[in-house]
Every structure is written in structure tokens, then in C-alpha cells.
Amino acid sequence: MVVLVKRLRQKLRKELVFETNNSMVNDYITQLVFRSEVAPLTYHFRFKLDGSSPFVFIPGQYLLLKIGEFFRQFSICSYQMEDNTFDLVADYFKGGLASEYLLSLKEGDKVFFKGPAGVFIQQPVVRPVVYLATGTGVAPILAMIDSVVKKEDLTHPFYLFWGVETENDAYFIPQLTLLKQKQSLFTFALCLSQQEELIAPPFYKGHIQDNIFALLGESLLLSNCDVYVCGGKEAVESLKEFSLTNGVPKEHLYFERFN
């Protein structure tokens, strides 16, 4: 009975958090603008909103893609206010409901979303920031970084460490390079866990944990940073433990897991 009560309380707390943080959730009708394979079995999608509902999101939030009676969660990679479009990045899994649906779409097809929602969001920048992402977990973090780059009064450095298997699995390098050119306080590194050949920056061999301290430098302690972690469940748990072990306070650690 005690266990059951605890579970009910946890469920109610989760539902309360969802309602509290998603009071502005809307339904959206969109059209597919384009789809592009940016890495093996990884796709970049752009959708245009019809403008019937206001689109306001905090960088880091996600949308729910409607497929029949089902919904699938996708983080917003970027939003272009000038033409009312937003971008998503998704891996393809054969037989997956969302994967097969997204690849069946043609340019101009209507697609339905609900959102934006989620509590994994960019916080005010009051100290150095370190973003740790694996795979498509970089999507919400790209939106966060873009919002930080635009801050005119920025004084703290911020870093992206993005883990993928090989150089062929990396994408959006021109966009990241442009962000770095716009803001000298931004640094990014691609950590390649299964790369055999010699490579040059911004590519580095090994996992994020193998490179982070050498690239941050001795003058910046991870424990003095805000740390954002996003990616697959196992990777996020590992990077969370890594961050906590290296002194990052729980209140300065933000994370989201992709199932």
C-alpha cells in the first residue's frame, strides 16, 4: 500500500509539472518544406507553420508529432521567425512509426503538431555553460546555443561537446562554425568514439569524457559551470554521473533523455 501511494504521488507530481509548464501548448498545422539526409540514416526536416496559432517556444523545448491517434516527441532544432518555419532532426529506425511516417512525406504535405512543451530549457547565463550531447540529442542544444549567441551582454564562455561515432555521422558543421564566428566566447568539439583515422579540430578522437578537460583548459572547472546533457538514455546517465563526480551541483545540471 505504501509503495502504491508513493507511485500515485509521483504520477500526480509529474502531471502537475507537465500542466504547469505547458499552459501555452497549441495545435499546429504545418507543411513539409524539405527533407535532407544529413548523415547516414539521420534526416533534417523543415516545416512551415500556417500562422493560425502563435508559435512561442523556449529554446530546448519539443513538439509532439501527431500520427493518427499517436504522438511522437521531437526537439526543436531551430526556428526561423522571418518565414515561420522550424527544423527537426531525427534518426531513421526501420519499422518505427515516426520514422516510416516522416520518410513517407512529400514536400507540401500537411503535418500536425502539438506543443511546444518541456522543461529542458535554456536558463539565464550567469556562469560558464557546458553542453554535452550525443547523436540527435544535439537538436535542442543547437536551439539553446543559437539563443545564447544572440545575447549582446554575454560575458561567460560556453562550450559544446558533441559525441558521435565517426566524422561521417556529424552534421551542421557549417552552422556551428558560423555561430563561432558570430560569438568568440563559443567553442565546439566533435568527439568521435569510433574514428580510426587522424583528424583535426573541431574533430577529436574518443568520447566526450576523454576530451573535455583538455579542451576546457586548467582555468575552468566543470564544477563552476552550468551543464546541459541530452541524448540517448545510457549516454545521458553516464554523462550525468560524470558531471556529478566532477563536482557539478545538481541545481546546475540539466538533462533530457531520448528513448
Same domain, 56 and 87: yes
- Let me know whether 137 and 239 are in one domain: yes
CATH number at residue 188: 3.40.50.80
Q: Are residues 112 and 139 in the same domain?
A: no
Strand locations in 199-252 (E): 203-205, 226-232
Query: 24 falls in which pLDDT band (50, 70, 90)?
Result: low
pLDDT at 145 over 90: yes
Query: Same domain for 197 and 230?
Result: yes
Tens-digit pLDDT profile for residues 102-138 = 999 999 999 999 999 999 999 999 999 999 999 999 9
CA distance 136 to 140: 9
| Residue-wise DSSP of 108-149 | T-EEEEEEEE-S--PPP--S-EEEEEEGGGHHHHHHHHHHHH
Instruction: With beta carbons less than 8 A apart as the criterion, state whether 247 and 221 touch.
Output: yes
- Classify residue 157: in a domain, yes or no: yes
Whether 226 is covered by a domain: the verdict is: yes
- What gap in Å lies between CA 203 and CA 144, rounded to an integer? 21
Residue 17 has pLDDT above 60, yes or no: no
On whether both 59 and 160 belong to a single domain, the answer is no
Task: Look at residues 94, 117, 140 and tell me which one is the last residue of a structural domain.
Answer: 117
In this predicted structure, what is the pLDDT of residue 5? Answer: 33
> What's the pLDDT score for residue 11?
38
Residues 24 and 56 in one domain: yes
- The verdict on residue 103 lying in a domain is yes
- Please, are residues 107 and 170 in contact by the beta-carbon 8 Å criterion? no
Q: Are residues 98 and 170 in the same domain?
A: no
Phi-psi region for residue 37, left (φ > 0), alpha (ψ -120 to 50) or beta? beta
- Look at residue 122 and tell me if it is in a domain: no
User: Domain with 93 in it: what CATH number?
Assistant: 2.40.30.10
Sign of CA dihedral 49, 90, 151, 251: positive
Q: Which residue has the higher pLDDT, 199 or 69?
A: 69
- Which cell numbers hold the place of 182? 558570430
Q: Taking a C-beta distance cutoff of 8 angstroms, is the pair 105, 32 a contact?
A: yes
Tell me: do 101 and 158 sit in the same domain. Answer: no
Residues pairing with 227 in the sheet = 130, 253
Are 104 and 41 within one domain? yes
- Residues in CB range of 206: below 8 A, 6 or more apart: 191, 192, 193
pLDDT for residue 144 is more than 70: yes
Question: Which of 65, 97, 117 is at the close of a domain?
Answer: 117
Whether 106 and 172 share a structural domain: no
Domain membership of residue 223 as a residue range: 129-258
